[in-house]
């Protein structure tokens, strides 16, 4: 089944701040910024800055399953918010909130990150120096929705593949350290 994104989700902009976000240890909400993303924009780091929630509309508070979509720059990826803390996303993101039982947030984020969807989004980019995706372009994206069973299979396989990539990277990093240390010992005449 194919639908327009706007028929299965609610999309709104992240919270706008007028100045640099400073970490406030007495803050009661985490403010997710682009710098907080890691592993090719697939994860939120463990320590976003904290701010006070005074004056922030209730709608801006993230819910588990909300999708953060990067609107600005060259990398317009989506990731699912599944953290156990109170948070908002800043205006560099659109928040995509699934309102249909037909699609899971995890599958939709995966779908948005695929070549077909990325190609569509690329054609709708605006700006010259720093490009961005406008809300209308995102809303009018066609989404192919497989069965719930196939959505689960796709996201499970994708998650396993991501874990494999991380493990491979960890092994490569450890191998580099071992080789580096061995070379240092050889150069110091210890081996």
CA angle, 27 then 29 then 33, to 5° = 110
CA atoms within 13 A on the CB side of 162: 13
Percent helix, strand, coil in the chain, to 5, is 35, 25, 40
Paired tokens of 42 = 């697939």
CA distances from residue 8 to 12, 79, 134, 150 in whole angstroms, order as listed: 14, 17, 18, 18
Per-residue pLDDT of the chain (191 residues; tens, 9 = 90+): 999 999 999 999 999 887 788 888 888 999 999 899 987 787 888 789 998 888 899 999 999 999 999 998 888 999 999 998 999 999 999 999 999 999 999 999 999 999 999 999 998 888 877 889 999 999 999 999 999 999 999 999 999 998 999 899 999 999 999 999 999 999 998 87
Give residue 125's pLDDT.
Answer: 83
Give residue 154's pLDDT.
Answer: 97
Give residue 38's pLDDT.
Answer: 84
């Amino acid at each position: 089944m194919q639908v327009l994104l706007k028929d299965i989700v609610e999309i709104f902009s992240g919270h706008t701040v007028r100045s640099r976000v400073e970490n406030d240890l007495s803050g009661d909400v985490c403010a997710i910024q682009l710098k907080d993303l890691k592993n090719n924009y697939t994860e939120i780091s463990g320590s976003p800055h904290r701010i006070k929630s005074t004056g922030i509309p209730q709608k801006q508070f993230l819910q588990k399953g909300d999708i953060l979509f990067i609107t600005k720059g060259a990398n317009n990826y989506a990731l699912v918010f599944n953290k156990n803390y109170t948070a908002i996303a800043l205006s560099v993101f659109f928040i995509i909130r699934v309102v249909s039982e037909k699609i899971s947030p995890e599958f939709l984020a995966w779908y948005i990150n695929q070549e077909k969807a990325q190609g569509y989004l690329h054609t709708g980019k605006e700006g010259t120096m720093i490009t961005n995706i406008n809300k209308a372009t995102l809303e009018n994206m066609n989404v192919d929705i497989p069965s719930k069973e196939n959505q689960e299979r796709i996201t499970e396989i994708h998650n396993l593949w991501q874990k494999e990539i991380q493990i491979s990277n960890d092994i490569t990093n450890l191998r580099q350290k071992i080789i580096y240390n061995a070379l240092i010992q050889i150069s110091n005449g210890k081996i």
